[in-house]
Amino acid sequence: MTPTNRKKIVVAHSIRPDAPLHEVETNRALARWLAQILGLDYGGSYSVDLHVEADLYLLPTQTLVGPAQALSLGVKGPEDLWGGYVDHDFICTKAITHGLHGPEAVAPEGWSPLFAERVRAVVLDGLSVFAVQDARAAAMQLLELGPIRLKPVHACAGRGQEVVDSLKQFDAILARADVADLFAQGVVLEQDLQDVVTHSVGQSFIGGRVFSYCGEQYLTQDGQGEAVYGGSNLLVVPGYYEELLTLSLDEDVRLAIEQAQVFDNAADEAYPGFYASRRNYDIAQGLDSQGTQRSGVLEQSWRMGGASSAEVAALQSFVDDPTLRAIRVSSVETYIDQPLPADAVEIYRGPAENSDFLLKYVTVKSYDG
């Protein structure tokens, strides 16, 4: 589904003009590694002057949005990039996970009520809000069920989220000076869980190959003491979800895979302009305020993400040994300066966006299941 034409040049593309150094360099490192695996040339970072006429295989740091951006980069379909494309910005955010409070609620252009209908059984209780005037009614409805989590839809790695226990606390948020802009950008209000395990489930289509995976991600503390993404431990198979489900897996893992598939299929149905060669989903499992076990897809990632280095390592393993039935790979992000573990592949070492130091690396272990 991706590059079979050996004339393609693999190019990194850091889309955000203010992207931190670690994002830019991680993007470049993975593009370089992927070019080596595919036997293609590596063209460095995307440049209009250098690459405008070239046949590219792009690794963008963000999901491409709108036909103009895709056309300008020479991307016509999933075979031209490792990532994804959507017609409207909100489609690639966690905003699509939930429906609106009601038919009169403000919705962005291109909003599909069908998506929320299709995924209702595989997500947590929640609502998406795009205007401050809709926020209080949405919060009131959800707070009847217990504490909620406020999640700005463009925030990454868990940053910017707040847990709200009462309407009084939510009213204090509504009194902030920047609240109108916050909700105009999109906010998810979602039931808060305790004792949470976050599963990562996904598929990638690269170089005519497809591989599927499941695993767990975990948090760490950045240099400011904030809980942020710390890594993923993945079990990867060559092939589709059907191959993954032939392995010996716990029932909670099987549930996460099934929920991710529903979410994935709904995106194809509700947003027909969408395509992606990297399809990653986070599924949270934990206890709600009544002590009931819940499981639901939190969001999608149709772009380079924290687990991407582990996925590239898995692809390398399958190329090196086509007889492999499965492989275990881990991506790690730590804000503590330390030596690289034995047999680890360093992806990035240097300053972080909000900390003085960040180390990213990946490890590979055999599957003995």
Which long-range contacts (C-beta less than 8 Å, at least 24 apart) are formed by 104-112? Answer: 105/129, 105/130, 105/131, 105/134, 105/138, 106/130, 106/131, 106/133, 106/134, 108/186, 110/271, 112/270, 112/271
**pLDDT (average), residues 33-62:** 94
Query: pLDDT tens-digit profile of 220-276?
Result: 999 999 888 999 999 999 999 999 999 999 999 999 999 999 999 999 999 999 999
C-alpha distance from residue 168 to each of 52, 150, 175 (Å): 54, 14, 11
pLDDT confidence band for 53 (50 / 70 / 90): confident
pLDDT confidence band for 160 (50 / 70 / 90): confident
pLDDT of residue 26: 98
For residues 307 and 233, the answer to whether their CB atoms sit within 8 Å is no
CA distance 328 to 35: 22
Q: How is residue 300 written in tokens?
A: 């999608």
**pLDDT (average), residues 336-346:** 95
pLDDT of residue 54: 87
For residues 188 and 153, the answer to whether their CB atoms sit within 8 Å is yes
**In this prediction, what percent of the chain has a pLDDT beyond 70?**
98
The Cβ-side half-sphere exposure at 208, using a 13 Å CA radius, reads 8
Q: What are phi and psi of 136, to 5 degrees?
A: -65, -40
Question: What does the H/E/C string look like for 234-280?
Answer: EEEEECCHHHHCCCCCCHHHHHHHHHHHHHHHHHHHHCCCCEECEEE
CA distance 305 to 349: 17
Query: pLDDT tens-digit profile of 170-197?
Result: 999 999 999 999 999 999 999 999 999 9
**pLDDT (average), residues 339-366:** 95
User: In the chain, at which residue ranges do the beta strands (DSSP E only) sit?
Assistant: 9-13, 41-45, 56-60, 64-65, 84-86, 126-129, 148-152, 162-164, 187-191, 194-206, 209-221, 227-238, 275-276, 278-287, 293-301, 327-334, 345-350, 358-366
pLDDT of residue 6: 55
CA 248 to chain centre: 25
CA distance 122 to 311: 25
pLDDT confidence band for 1 (50 / 70 / 90): very low
pLDDT of residue 156: 74
Q: Which CATH number fits domain 93-122+125-192: 3.40.50.880, 3.40.190.80, 3.40.430.10, 3.30.1490.20?
A: 3.30.1490.20
pLDDT of residue 157: 61
pLDDT at 50 over 90: no
Mean pLDDT of the chain: 95
In 3D space, the residue among 257, 249, 253, 235 whose CA is nearest the CA of residue 313 turns out to be 235
Domain boundary assignment for the chain: 9-87, 93-122+125-192, 195-366
Query: pLDDT tens-digit profile of 129-151?
Result: 999 999 999 999 999 999 999 99
Query: pLDDT tens-digit profile of 283-297?
Result: 999 999 999 999 999
Contact residues for 138 (Cβ-Cβ < 8 A; gap 6+): 101, 105, 127, 129, 189
Q: What are phi and psi of 29, to 5 degrees?
A: -65, -40
pLDDT of residue 116: 97
Query: 195-366 has which CATH code?
Result: 3.30.470
Tell me if 93-122+125-192 shares its fold with 195-366. no
pLDDT of residue 369: 63
pLDDT of residue 113: 97
